[in-house]
Chain A
Amino acid sequence: MIHRTRLVIAASAGACALALGVSSPALAEQQDQAMVSVFHGIPGMTVDVYANGDELVGDFKPGTVTDPKSLDAGTYDIQIFEAGQSPDGTPALQKKIEVPEGANATVAAHLSADGKPELTAFTNDVSQVEAGKSRLTVRHVAAAPAVDVRAGGQPVFTDLTNPKEDTAEVDAGTLNTDVVLAGTDTVAIGPADLKLAEGTSNVVYAWGSADDKNLALATQTFSGMASSPRGVPAGGSGAAVATNSADLGPAWAAGAGAVAVAGVLVARRVVRRRG
């Protein structure tokens, strides 16, 4: 992959720059990595993305997101040029991005609420998701006013403004979503089916421009966040251990009726616990 080769160059350049900034070169070797991806949400403009002067992504089309790449943690000077333009010129966009150790970040090139191109760094929550759940994050990076995000007609996130995000763990499965102007039923984007696999983290970018009528959704998925169920309640009445009930002594043997009632009590407790 061309991108990978370019990325390695960028990463080593980053490491060198950082090494200059610390007192001992040995410290640089201890630097942890960070995972970085890039989202392009500026309509109508194919771009090249540079990090510290080296090309990170080339011919990057709007509405796409790169796979996460491992980079040395540190500060990156991110520059966006229109595709094919010399990186010696003035970039269309430029911003210094801090990438902390161990972070998983997405740098988004997008429009502000009033339609100006800008760069925003988001931290991706890739912590474990509860068994049976999926994490849904929505980032408002569109030239549009505040919105609500609905699933099955019910609001999941409300009053989300550019460039904010909101996140929730939802039941894994397919979610029928749409984006409406905040507090209204006026659909701005969608409806769209989101397939949210169990144990994954799904980031949805609402991008584009309301004025230009090109609002759209783009999704970035991170996997490997599955966790175990809390427990395995695979027992009931205790009948499977009742074969040696004589061990329990005369008090136990005294009344079969008492046993039955106790069994019912236990059953009720178990049912409540499961509830």
Chain B
Amino acid sequence: MLAAAALAAVLGFPARPSQPAEPAPDFTTAPYGRTAGAAAEEAPPPAQAPPPRRVLLPDVGVDARVAPVGVTDRGDLAVPDDPSVAGWYRYGPAPGSVAGSAVLVGHVDSDTGAIGEFAGLYDVRRGDRVEVRRAGADPVRYRVLSRVTVPKEELPPSAFRRTGVPVLTLITCAPPFVPERGGYLSNLVVTAEPVESGRAQWPT
């Protein structure tokens, strides 16, 4: 009986995929991926910046510990199981590197039902502040440039580029949520640009 109910619940999903609770619409300043840098392909890899330890978005209340991550056996980005922890894609640039996209990723929610720290990304707006604290180095500051929602299979490769202008890319999952197709079908991708190091304050 319970199993039948569960089945019904699962089957009941596709007709009405869940929608986010009226998030702010996505925004971009330019077509996503405009900075993909083929020209810099020949450049030697820059010296590695120190690893990130913590990421904060004070405007939306995100404050997450950061752990380095790689890929799973099947080649997916290995997202930390704990939704309060963000993963830094350690094969790509670190935040503060002179080139390329530093990727931080976090679960929007966990298999146990906890809401992830990166769920706060649903509320970011252009110009929001991002701070990445690092081991043995000054924090790096960014401001949000764009937020896009893309089907998971269309995650722009530029999010993982290793060359071109430096950006911070924050990724989590986004609705629609369709359990029988593996859960969330989209990725929310927030791109932030470095705030010039000369400025003591974030721009307002």
Contact = CB atoms under 8 A, between A and B. Distances in A.
B75 A236 contact: no
Contact of A274 (B5, B72, B153): B72
A45 interface: no
Contact of B177 (A228, A241, A257): A241
B14 to A, nearest CB: 11
Nearest to B79: A234
Interface stretch (A75-83, A135-143, A150-158, A244-252): A244-252
B179 A243 contact: no
Contact of A234 (B3, B10, B105, B115): B105
A172 B18 contact: no
Interface stretch (B56-64, B125-133, B140-148, B167-175): B167-175
Contacts, number: 185
Given A131-B91, A237-B110, A238-B179, A232 B8 contact: no
10 contacts: A131-B77, A131-B91, A226-B160, A229-B89, A235-B107, A237-B110, A240-B119, A241-B175, A251-B12, A262-B179
Interface residues of A, number: 50
B169 to A, nearest CB: 10
B173 A249 contact: no
A132 interface: yes
A232 B76 contact: yes
B31 interface: no
Given A228-B155, A228-B160, A241-B19, A233 B173 contact: yes
A103 to B, nearest CB: 17
Contacts of B45: 223
A198 interface: yes
A132 B75 contact: yes
Given A198-B91, A226-B160, 16 more contacts: A131-B91, A199-B162, A226-B91, A228-B159, A229-B160, A232-B105, A233-B152, A237-B109, A239-B109, A239-B113, A241-B175, A252-B9, A261-B2, A262-B10, A266-B179, A270-B182
